Amino acid sequence: MPRLMSSTNLRVFLAALCLASGSFLLISTWTRQRTLALYYRKLHDEHASFLHKSAARKMTFTAPETKEELDKPHMNNESRKSFLLDTPYCNIPDIDPFDPAVIGKLKRRGELLCTGNKLSVTFSEGSKLRLNWEKIKEDLDGDFKYCQYQAIRRGNRNSDFSFELGDLSESFDHDITIPPQDEFLRVHCYSQSEGKVTTDFHATVSPKQDVERRSLHRFERHKENPSLRETYNVHMIGVDSVSRLNFIRHMRQTREFLHKDLGAFEMSGYNKVADNTFVNIVPMTMGKFVNEIGWNENMNNVPFDKYPFLWKNFSQAGYRTLYAEDAPKIAIFVYAKEGFHEPPADYYNRPLAVALEKQRSVWSSHHHCVADRLETTMVLDYVTDFSRVFRDKPHFGFTFITRLTHDKVDLVEAADYAYVNFLRRFRDEGHFKNTVLIFYSDHGYRFGEMRDSYVGKVEERLPFFYLVFPPSFREKYPAIVRNLQINSKRLTTPFDVYETVKDILYFDGVAKKGDIRNRGISMLREIPAERTCEHAQILPHWCLCLEQKTLKPKGKLANKIGQAVVRHMNNVLLPVSHMCANLTLLNISHIVRMASNERVLRFADVFHDVLNQTIVYGRKTDAPVVYQITMTTAPGFALFEATVTFDPVSRSFKMGGDISRINAYKDQSFCVDNFILKKFCYCLNKKNEK
């Protein structure tokens, strides 16, 4: 067999080949791919370190190196836990976010900088419109003259699709207070020499007399509820099309801030219940499937005003309400639908979003920046202003941000900077002291090459989901905190979010058990471990719980897996083989096969949300199969329980998590001190022969 080139010689050879052909494409592509691979390897290592610190576990993996190894099933020592969820009737596989099968399909973008556009020389804070003198000096070099604004209002009162502009205001060259009726603004600023030089858009927030009068009366009545213990503000902030795994890969700063700074509860088993945004948001905000609310595609000219959204409950309880979205053409209740004839909330940014979309001159070429601000940041600033203005008054916000993450999976990393900055500012201004944040996505990425893989199917069904409570919550309500910790590893759905938000509105501080008979169970209540997709009404083609089948313990496959586990244990014992006996397989008492259901693996697409809904199935995707085995080894009659995953692509077995010793080893392993070795070691010393 010819000797392989060293990596250095290979690079020299490739460079020479490129020069000879007059093209640098090959070497640059190779270098770029290698750089990207190294970057994701670094992320993999950081993620492994994060898991090790938070859960006292370590992640390593190896890959077969030759075709012979690929063709021959072998054991791959991977001490990662096998299951994200491990309950009696729902095991969801714990996929490595940096799985080699995925890395080659990933791209990274980094921070999206809004440069090259005109600077925003004005900014809003609550009801104030302020001049940014630093930017004025930088961009206009002392040539500033004045600014004027026009109010942006809802156009046809019964339409979500139009807006109208008010008259130009008086000119101003200083900070001004905006009247409550002029919520949204288009601002023109002028220089002495060039005339109009900047156009910008702003949302302002100030108390509205009618809303304040109504809210005060309703909130006093709400507080009369004798079981009411706390009145928390609630913000629901959704990010379109970000899976839990992609959140780990690309929103690293946001994730770290949630875990380390905010003590957030991550619902790892949050499983979507339908295909797209609309059909997952309806269960979250109304507690029903779309077909149960009496809506279908033939009603695309019927507004959504009459439907029982969650924010109406908060309004009735005396909370000020906010509804905010970006990307108005594809908004949740507008895309191929009628939208709302009346504003659904007290503060509704749609007139601004529609006007902004029409003003092409202010957008960057990629349509993510408005002047020198990210559109996502503009929406989040509106949320922050709302919380700041009503800091001491009850309020509820529903925000859903789409454009940045909807079409390109690599732009999720650009979103990371916007969201971590928002969360940091929200924390620093003290808003979390009395606010519950629900931070989530509707589903994972639903298009592209990755979706056809098994990892892609898992990602699509498991969006990220977090709950953040005030810092004092853990101390005041430890029993409910315990429920949240338990539920972080239970099967959850958008129906549970609906029940959770209702529980927060009527918060009584009492820890309860959830009723498994209910489709939706509040996450503040302990969700039963026995819950299945059937209980939660997750249809089979969306359900990620693995199907279980008991195998014959005396079969060839069982023996092959048992022998592989024994080989792994003997490899672990190699450093102390002079003290510990070589183990052999004595007996297999139980083995269970767990695999994704056929409908998940063959699912291709779904057409229509309600009428004539058609599920399309295609070629079955290769997927890992998990085996749980209970076995006895000799000498010593040690009883072990192990989880082994078979990868059909690499044809390799991988250890899933720690091997459990389920009978006492007493003094059999007295000769070693390491707790891992003690599980496996049968000391050769005669003390064990007594």
pLDDT of residue 237 exceeding 50, the answer is yes
C-alpha span between 424 and 430 (Å, rounded): 10
C-alpha span between 299 and 303 (Å, rounded): 8
Residues pairing with 647 in the sheet: 652
Residue 125 exposed, middle or buried by CB count within 10 Å (0-12, 13-18, 19+): middle
Q: pLDDT tens-digit profile of 548-562?
A: 888 999 999 999 999
pLDDT of residue 13 exceeding 50, the answer is no
Least confident of 46-50, 187-191, 228-232: 46-50
C-alpha span between 443 and 270 (Å, rounded): 10
Q: pLDDT tens-digit profile of 576-585?
A: 999 999 999 9
C-alpha distances in angstroms, 419 versus 104, 278, 412, 424, 635? 26, 23, 10, 8, 56
Quick check: 554 and 585 in contact, CB under 8 A? no
C-alpha span between 192 and 195 (Å, rounded): 6
- Ranked by mean pLDDT, the top range of 213-217, 449-453, 548-552 is 213-217
Quick check: 122 and 155 in contact, CB under 8 A? no
Give me 441's structure tokens: 């996505």
C-alpha distances in angstroms, 473 versus 257, 469, 484? 18, 6, 12
State the DSSP code for 193: T
What is the model's pLDDT at position 647? 83
Of all residues in the chain, the percent with pLDDT exceeding 70 is 86
What is the model's pLDDT at position 388? 97
Omega into 494 within 30° of 0, i.e. cis?
no
C-alpha distances in angstroms, 325 versus 240, 395, 399? 11, 17, 6
Give me 527's structure tokens: 């969700």
Q: pLDDT tens-digit profile of 615-649?
A: 788 887 888 888 989 999 999 999 998 888 888 87
Long-range contacts of 533-538 (CB under 8 A, 24+ apart): 533/90, 533/271, 533/491, 536/271, 536/273, 536/491, 536/492, 536/493, 536/495, 536/496, 537/273, 537/289, 537/493, 537/495, 538/271, 538/273, 538/491, 538/493
Residue 449 exposed, middle or buried by CB count within 10 Å (0-12, 13-18, 19+): exposed
* Pairing status of strand 184-191 against strand 195-203: antiparallel
Quick check: 541 and 548 in contact, CB under 8 A? no
pLDDT of residue 65 exceeding 60, the answer is no
**What does the pLDDT average to over 67-82?**
38
Give me 340's structure tokens: 């709302």
Please give the backbone phi and psi of residue 417, each rounded to the nearest 5 degrees, phi first: -65, -40
Quick check: 562 and 631 in contact, CB under 8 A? yes
pLDDT of residue 8 exceeding 50, the answer is no
**What does the pLDDT average to over 258-270?**
98
Quick check: 321 and 396 in contact, CB under 8 A? yes
- Ranked by mean pLDDT, the top range of 28-37, 491-500, 549-558 is 491-500
Please give the backbone phi and psi of residue 447, each rounded to the nearest 5 degrees, phi first: -135, 170
**What does the pLDDT average to over 540-547?**
89
Residue 7: count of CB within 10 angstroms of its CB:
8
Quick check: 495 and 519 in contact, CB under 8 A? yes
- Strands (E) in 429-534, as ranges, are 435-441, 465-468, 491-492
Between 79 and 84, where is the model more confident?
Answer: 84
pLDDT of residue 263 exceeding 90, the answer is yes
C-alpha distances in angstroms, 624 versus 453, 543, 644? 11, 16, 10
Residue 119: count of CB within 10 angstroms of its CB:
19
Q: pLDDT tens-digit profile of 367-395?
A: 999 988 999 999 999 999 999 999 999 99
pTM: 0.80
Quick check: 225 and 219 in contact, CB under 8 A? no
Residue 57: count of CB within 10 angstroms of its CB:
14
Between 292 and 156, where is the model more confident?
Answer: 292
Three-state helix/strand/coil letters over 6-35: CHHHHHHHHHHHHHHHCCCHHHHHHHHHHH
Of all residues in the chain, the percent with pLDDT exceeding 90 is 62
Question: Which among 320, 319, 290 is positioned nearest to 307, based on CA atoms?
Answer: 290
Residues pairing with 465 in the sheet: 440
Give me 588's structure tokens: 């297999």
Quick check: 444 and 418 in contact, CB under 8 A? no
Quick check: 478 and 258 in contact, CB under 8 A? no
What is the model's pLDDT at position 441? 98
What is the model's pLDDT at position 161? 94
562-598 burial code (b ≥16 CB/10 A, e <16): bebbbebbbebbeebeebbbebebbebeebbbbbbbe
Amino acid present at 544:
L
Which residue has 């077909």 as its token pair? 291
> Model confidence at 43, in pLDDT bands (50, 70, 90)?
low
What is the model's pLDDT at position 31? 44
What is the model's pLDDT at position 497? 99
Question: Which among 367, 458, 448 is positioned nearest to 409, based on CA atoms?
Answer: 448
C-alpha span between 280 and 53 (Å, rounded): 34
Q: pLDDT tens-digit profile of 288-340?
A: 999 999 999 899 999 999 999 999 999 999 999 999 999 999 999 999 999 99
pLDDT of residue 101 exceeding 90, the answer is no
Quick check: 233 and 443 in contact, CB under 8 A? no
Q: pLDDT tens-digit profile of 393-423?
A: 999 999 999 999 988 777 899 999 999 999 9
State the DSSP code for 258: I
Task: Collapse the DSSP code of 325 into the 3-class scheme (helix H, G, I; strand E, B; otherwise coil) and give the result.
Answer: strand
- Strands (E) in 406-454, as ranges, are 435-441
Task: Collapse the DSSP code of 220 into the 3-class scheme (helix H, G, I; strand E, B; otherwise coil) and give the result.
Answer: helix
